[in-house]
Amino acid sequence: MEGGDLGGGKRARAACGGYVCFEDEAGFTRRPPRGRTWGRRGRTPVVTVSGRRSGRLSVAGLIAMRPGSRTRLCHRLRTHPAGKGKRRSMDERDFIALVDSVHQLVKAPIVLIWDRLNTHVSRKMRDLVAERTWLTVFLLPAYAPDLNPVEGVWAHVKRSLANLAVMALDRLETLVRNRLKRLQYRPHTLDGFIAGTGLTLDAPAYLDESKSVAR
């Protein structure tokens, strides 16, 4: 696994027909993000939620871009039921499965850029990366979420879920999948998330591609 330099190696691989991919993770629970709404004067709107420990939905998202191609969004979800001692996050196999599915979709080399999460830099992950000759990994600088366009995806999804009281974890999963699927058909919105990082990228040409990117 390579270091934090996002320069020459990334450009060289992309120029050879590869995709530059940004990955990030987010968690969702039955407690909705807080947002703003209208209410009667003097009465603050209240959303009632359960105070009991509930399960968690982990989502790994990946934006794949290449000059001249349609920007794509792929994702992988995992539900973690409530309970002591149970894992509440994704592991190395989850992340590499997402990357493998993207590689099968685009059929091109991948330059993967992600943060320094412990599962991204573990020995197990380094071994998994080394097995894939088509995969080159770069690490973002520490504490630099503003450089990852997938953060824009999470902000967009969470705004759409603000003040929503979800009664069951499977219902939450359905809602999150729905929001992500909508974004998959809005490449201009994905390009906006990339532009928000301040990275300079060639404007993509939107091609007529029929392959589904749902995961």
Superfamily of domain 8-30+55-194: Ribonuclease H-like superfamily/Ribonuclease H (3.30.420.10)
Report d(CA 75, CA 157) in Å as an integer: 13
CB count, 10 Å around CB of 190? 24
Report d(CA 32, CA 172) in Å as an integer: 10
DSSP H/E element including 192: helix 187-195
Q: Report pLDDT digits (tens) over 24-79.
A: 999 988 766 555 666 677 777 666 665 555 688 999 999 999 988 999 999 999 98
Q: What is the DSSP letter of 7?
A: S
Domain ranges of the chain: 8-30+55-194
Three-state DSSP at 171 gives helix
Report H helices in the chain.
8-15, 92-106, 118-121, 123-130, 150-160, 169-184, 187-195
Q: What is the pTM of this model?
A: 0.79
How large is the average pLDDT for residues 109-114? 95
How large is the average pLDDT for residues 168-173? 87
- Asked whether 35 and 162 are in contact (CB, 8 A), the reply is yes
Between these two residues, 201 and 203, which has the higher pLDDT value?
201
C-alpha distance across the termini of the chain, in Å: 25
